[in-house]
Amino acid sequence: MEQIDHILVVDDDQDIRELVAAYLRKNGLRASTVASGREMWATLDICPVDLIVLDVIMPGDDGLLLCRNLRIGKHRSVPIVMLTSRDDETDRIVGLEMGADDYVVKPFSMRELLARIKAVMRRTRLLPPNLRVTDATRLIAFGAWRLDTIARHLLDGDGTIVALSGAEFRLLSAFIDHKQCVLTRDQLLNLTRGRDAEPFDRSIDLLVCRLRQRLLDDPREQTYIKTVRSEGYVFCQPVTLVGGEA
């Protein structure tokens, strides 16, 4: 029997969440609704969810904070589509930097929202099944570096902080999650840019170059990130969690 995808709609506006849920159900999806971050966490603890539709502006913890906390917790692999009532580029960029896979601006058409949900789930499933996301931890050590997954920055051997952009953090996290696996450019784009990823987009090469600079990784020696010609990139360093091996 084919499994029905389960979408969790998180919005404090009852009318919107019920309309969205009804439309998703009409189109063959399972939909649950909650009105707050607290209810969202409670639902995630008891029920598997395939994607979260998350409103930005809510009382208490807003959608951006919830998105960030999702990305550093045990539910970090669940795709997120953000809903925002402001057509502001800064808000959209912040949402993507926090780890959202896509966003829709209110007022929106239900058809557009459904199309974006299906596109995000399709991109997520393009990854081979062996490329699973690891559970979140606080510190991950590799080579001369440690990655703080909560603060989202690097620490060198002396404990000096090296800041990472959101895109650099997502790329390094993708490499660490899939260490010793060759990742194609398309897979890396799906893992790091979500909606902004376009077929044959070569910007991933520039992002790899920037990350190598952060890691002081000589492009000729490629101690951390090796280029696999005609295939992609591989993170070749052993990875250790604080208190155990990854």
Average pLDDT over residues 115-138: 63
Average pLDDT over residues 164-189: 87
- Sequence spans of domains, the chain: 6-125, 139-245
pLDDT at residue 199, as a whole number = 44
Residues 6+ apart with CB under 8 A from 38: 60
Mean pLDDT score of the chain, rounded to an integer? Answer: 82
Which CATH number does 6-125 carry? 3.40.50.2300
Task: Give me the CATH topology for the region 139-245.
Answer: Arc Repressor Mutant, subunit A (1.10.10)
Residue 97: which pLDDT band, with cuts at 50, 70 and 90?
low
Residue 15: which pLDDT band, with cuts at 50, 70 and 90?
very high
Instruction: Give 157's DSSP letter.
Output: T
Identical topology for domains 6-125 and 139-245: no
Cis link prior to 107 (omega < 30° from 0)?
Answer: yes
Q: Beta-carbon neighbour count of residue 77 at 10 Å?
A: 15
Runs of H (alpha helix) within 72-130: 89-97, 110-125
Closest CA to 184 of 239, 123, 234: 234
- C-alpha distances out from residue 117 to 46, 165, 178, 238, Å: 22, 26, 25, 35
